[in-house]
Amino acid sequence: MSLGALIVVVACGVLLVISAVHYFGGSRIAATRDHGEVILEFARAYPGEAIRSVTMTEDRQASFLRLADGKTGFLQTMGRHHVARLILPGEVTVLPLEGQPGFHVKFHDSTLKGGNYIFASTEDAAEVSLWLCGNFAFAAPKMASSGGNEDA
């Protein structure tokens, strides 16, 4: 078989596979439908975490979960899959978005890119940003007493 014919056969095979995946729904974006699905997906990834509340973005593609121990859970839809993670103190930078009820999150590690997260209301955005900012208070180092005597 000539090199030209081999290239044509491989190209047709790749196109056939891509078409089959698309036709059978492999390229469809999974939508997080409700809080119950968010809780189940997050609990599958982190079974020991107690969830206090869930706030979803306006497009329902990302959810922030307030956890009982002061951490924040994060669940984002990527294609047909969900990415879940715990946001620990000092792992994110949060910046407000001008003119929109949301904020920009930048994760300090490179495993998950941040982005703009728009919420249904400014109250939802403010509440979630408080969860994220509250994480930094838990990470504050204890101040050493300067006189050698400690308060009881």
Say which CATH number the domain at 133 has: 2.30.29
* Chain CA centroid to CA 82, Å: 9
22 within some domain: no
- From CA 74, how far away is CA 54, in angstroms rounded? 10
Mean pLDDT value across residues 52-76 = 90
Tell me what pLDDT residue 139 has: 36
Q: What range defines the domain where residue 55 resides?
A: 35-138
Tell me what pLDDT residue 27 has: 53
Find all residues with CB under 8 Å of 14, minimum gap 6, and list them.
none
- Tell me 99's DSSP state: T
- From CA 72, how far away is CA 132, in angstroms rounded? 7
Q: DSSP strand E in the chain: where? A: 51-56, 62-67, 72-78, 81-87, 92-96, 102-107, 115-118
How many domains does the chain fold into? 1
Report percent pLDDT > 90 for the chain. Answer: 23
9 within some domain: no
- Tell me 139's DSSP state: T
| pLDDT reading at 142 higher than 80 | no
Segment 108-140, tens digit of pLDDT: 876 767 789 999 998 999 888 888 876 444 333
The band of 88, judged by pLDDT with boundaries at 50, 70 and 90, is confident
105 within some domain: yes
Does the pTM of the predicted model rise above 0.75? no
